Structure 1
Amino acid sequence: MADEALFLLLHNEMVSGVYKSAEQGEVENGRCVTKLESMGFRVGQGLIES
């Protein structure tokens, strides 16, 4: 149960950080979505393989 809460907090901070960088103009919005999708794909792939 505690692991799930930590994962959710980490996930929220990652998404928040990526979107904040897009708002500040560091990267364009499309690249942020692509980056989030690739991170999600990698995590999902790791979960399936283990």
Structure 2
Amino acid sequence: MEQEAVHALCDMARDALRRLNGSEHLMSVEVRDASGPVVEARVQWTMQRRQ
């Protein structure tokens, strides 16, 4: 389950990098079952242009 969440998050981040808009990015994937949340994978990055 954890690997699937991480793979989905990586795919989301790759797609977001193609449409860069803004300087701060936060994405997360939550995996749930009938009992509720099981695992959450999260990535956050900030982009600064130097020139």
TM bucket, shorter chain: 0.3 to 0.5
TM-score under structure 1 normalisation?
0.41
Structure number having the greater strand percentage: 2
TM-score under structure 2 normalisation?
0.40
Which fold has the larger relative contact order, with Cα–Cα distance below 8 Å and residues 6 or more apart in sequence?
A: 2
Structure number having the greater helix percentage: 1
The structure having more radius of gyration, on CA atoms, is: 2
